[in-house]
Structure 1
Amino acid sequence: MRQRKLGSQGLAVSEQGLGCMGMTFAYGPADDQEALRTAHRAFELGVNLLDTSDFYGPHTNEEFVAKVIAGRRDEVVVASKVGNEVTPDGTITGKQNGRPEYIRASVEGSLRRLGTDRIDLYYLHRVDPDVPVEETFGALAELVAAGKVRHLGISEAAAPTIRRAHAVHPLTAVQTEYSLSTRDVEVNDVLATVRELGIGFVGYSPLGRGLLTGAIRNLDNLAAHDFRRVAPRFQEGNLDANLHVVEQLEALAAAKGITTGQLALAWVLAQGDDIVAIPGTKRVKYLEENVAASAVALSADDLAALDRIAPHGSTVGDRYPAGAMATLDG
């Protein structure tokens, strides 16, 4: 697994990380033993970046990651997040909270649950519209000075917000959804801004929450509490339109002798050496398939074909339900 540098502060990570959210949250029942096998197999294959958040569960995902990194902390880059408000008793309020006192209290909880004395990459998960981002990042910068956090990032932030946060303390990474079905950062100045400022980019959901693998043709086999049951892109009508694009991707993948998911992942990795993808899975089989995408070489003709098949705006439906869309910055 090749490594890539995130930002200009010296953080190097595997070009594919492992998104841990789905191992305990949002995508159906958890299977701790299979998830642990998957995470340990990821290490064997050269993956060293684990992505979690206090929001996932809530709290249980960080506790799961603690089991994964036990005994090998120095081998792993742990990324977590703060800012989607969770009360001390584990209640998700649906609000954003960027107040300095909340940040300071939250990091202590994350450190305790993760069983570590530092978080390698700590993101502001969502921007609080009621708190100047400068105040939030002032508190986050204090955590770096105290040694509790090594590097800072921000998730789902608009370009002007990224500039303001970076002016307070250098950002190592911006994390935003990025895939053949979600190319917003190419047109809203986010990707251009992080490159101008020397900030790394981490793309989450590079497989479009499974849409781009071709495995989801309807919602029948999804668990009752699977997030995709309420995600607009998977709703009746929208899903049919989106599968028309997927079918074209499947044809191109078949011609190359790879899976559709590998084609989608290889495309993300081909967008620049400053981009890291964090596909999420809780199964060894799919992890190994994902990792193999790092060996896929896409030609200029392949990339041009993908631009024709899945240009920006080709996916039908918002990324999230309306309430969650309202939490995105800009």
Structure 2
Amino acid sequence: MDWRELLNSIITNSTERDRIAAEIGVHPVTLTRWASGESSPRPHNLRQLLRALPKGPRSQLLTLLEKVSPDVVDFEIDTTSHEIPYKFIIEVLEARASIPDLLRFWSITRLVLQQALRQLDPERVGMAITVVRCMPARYGKIRSLRETVGLGTAPWGGDLEEKALLLGAESLAGHVTVSCRLEHIGDLRTNKTFLPAYQVEHEVSAVACPIMYACRVAGCLLISSTQPDYFAPEARLALVRGYANLLALAFNPEDFYDPDVFALHIMPPSHIQQAHFTGFRQRVLKLMQDSVRQERRLASNEAEQLVWQDIEEVLLNVPHQEYK
């Protein structure tokens, strides 16, 4: 028996075939094609297949795969990654209890994103993960969201904060924040979901989950992958929800808003936005220096927020005909 014959015998049971396909994030027909030899799984698909199998069949399949692909020996099959580690949850709670107010948001968000990136992209196939938070309300309404802390594996850079944008009604993050409901898109190249989405370079699939507290929302956790249907498995979506819930600990209660205060605008595309970020740090520094002279000293995060609000006001007034 070769590995394809073993796979065929496993998926003869239609219930088991559908379960494995859902766990991997592929169509059940794809498993049938792998078993028949019509197509071959990519290395990361093989890892996912091995993780999805019970211990006995997994060992058998691994032995058969080693005969045709020596690289399989180096596969790290982590079958315990469907839950956030308990020790890490305690670490976040301890950080929440001990970190000063001014450092809490940045410290906890980076802590959570680092762990989420390790767990959600263990094979480093390519992922970007970003915390998107609401811009302060003006005239009683929230008009845009802002990408803040972000981390990524190749082909994205390690720290994504310098590439942050303002997002609005045209984005998946905007839709999820307003609806207070997790959504994912399996393939942004075709996007048959009718969900709004702004596709960035290298991005193929995406998921966004609202960050909530007491039925109010502060923004969302936005994750992109280079792989199609990467967030299809329910176990992976459960992890995304879990990390979004942990991120709520980074925010203050007043950072959460009732859904009825949102009136998101359509924000300009990135190439227009980037032109307005030139000299951002210099503008922040100048605000801080001016505040010292005026004896109303601003912290760096307060000065940054004021500069972001100025940029938001300018971008909201860019004529739509210039978006092309």
Pairwise same-fold verdict (TM > 0.5): no
Q: Structure 1 length normalisation: TM-score?
A: 0.27
Answer 1 or 2: which has greater helix percent.
2
Structure with larger RCO (C-alpha < 8 A, sep 6+):
1
Which protein has the larger Cα radius of gyration, Structure 1 or Structure 2? 2
